Amino acid sequence: MSFSHGWVLAFIPAYLIVELIIYYRIRSKAAPLPTAGFIRAFHSWRTRAIRILRFLPPIAIILLLFAISNPESVQSTTEILPSGINIMVVLDISGSMAAEDFQPLNRLEGAKAVLRDFIRGRRSDRIGLVVFGGRSVTRSPLTLQHETLQQSLKSVAMGELPEGTAIGMAIMSGINRLMIREEESKKGDRIMILITDGRNNGEIHPFTAVDDAKKYGIKIYTIGVGGFGPAPYPTITPEGKKAYRYEKADLDEDLLKAIAARTGGSYFRAADSESLSLLFRQIDQLEKSEPQILETQSIRTQAQAVAIPVLLLSICYVVLTMSIVRLP
């Protein structure tokens, strides 16, 4: 708490000193009355009221001086401004992402864990999320509300979409979401991160979508996930027990490399969670974004809150004084 007229507070101790001097002078000049020890003093409501009245004016004056000093409370707010970089994450959630070569997680959960850290590090960037299998769905548009985005990412699971790997359709969905904002922006401000472990089998060829990405200046980073050897895929035996079948990843690296090269991005191969995390750190360095934070302060006066007790004390003083004088 601060005071816009803090010098007024200096009058409070000065006033208290004056009050004490006056009180002791009056007390010293008061004539003593003879009393008898056997006479019991009778205290009426008037004597009690007079004792209260003695303290009301000093308290009211002290509070009034405090109000005149104008106490103020300062509230600070922090707002994160957009950096101008828009990032659309396009995540494969097809059945092959269930492979458990990202121990102790499967590919999808490993990718989600790394994405959560990536989002936390890009506070001033608008980030969106598209998931795809046999078709694509937008789970989050471009947003600075990263907590909402994190909740959407957390709820992503396999089995939500028809089976397949429609890479071309997914890229087209990401382009549409990136182009919703029409404002002019600097080169390289629209970025797409495509994460998949499969081969395109959708209706739209990825190169068709890539041509649109080039036209709008969208840079695509592609990440192929999966180990280089046979990967363990969980299955359920007729007895209801969990077992594994081992298959080699059907990853079209040539396609992913071409998509990245045509748009000015880069291709990365992630064989486990640690390498995927390292790749995202590399992307973070390639597309640097300095958080822009706006701090504002609002000042609110508290003089009214102090003035209300002064008014109540004054009313109480008047009522008690009139009651002592007029009532029998």
Q: Quick one: pLDDT band at residue 43, thresholds 50, 70, 90?
A: low
Are the CB atoms for 93 and 156 separated by under 8 Å?
A: yes
DSSP summary character for residue 95: G
Distance CA 11, CA 113 (A): 62
Q: Which domains does the chain have, with CATH numbers?
A: 2-27+43-75+302-326 (no CATH), 84-290 (3.40.50.410)
> Region 242-253: what's the mean pLDDT?
86
HSE at residue 100, side-chain half, CA atoms within 13 A, is 12
pLDDT in tens, 136-178: 999 999 998 999 999 999 999 998 999 999 999 999 999 999 9
pLDDT in tens, 104-135: 889 999 999 999 999 998 888 899 999 999 99
Q: How far apart are the first and last CA of the chain?
A: 48
**33 pLDDT above the threshold of 90:** no
Position 179 scores a pLDDT of 86
How big is the chain by its Cα radius of gyration, in Å?
A: 37
**Is pLDDT larger for residue 267 or for residue 48?**
267
Position 180 scores a pLDDT of 75
> Region 215-230: what's the mean pLDDT?
90
Q: Quick one: pLDDT band at residue 49, thresholds 50, 70, 90?
A: low
Are the CB atoms for 151 and 181 separated by under 8 Å?
A: no
Are the CB atoms for 142 and 181 separated by under 8 Å?
A: yes
Average pLDDT across the chain, whole number: 83
Are the CB atoms for 175 and 209 separated by under 8 Å?
A: yes
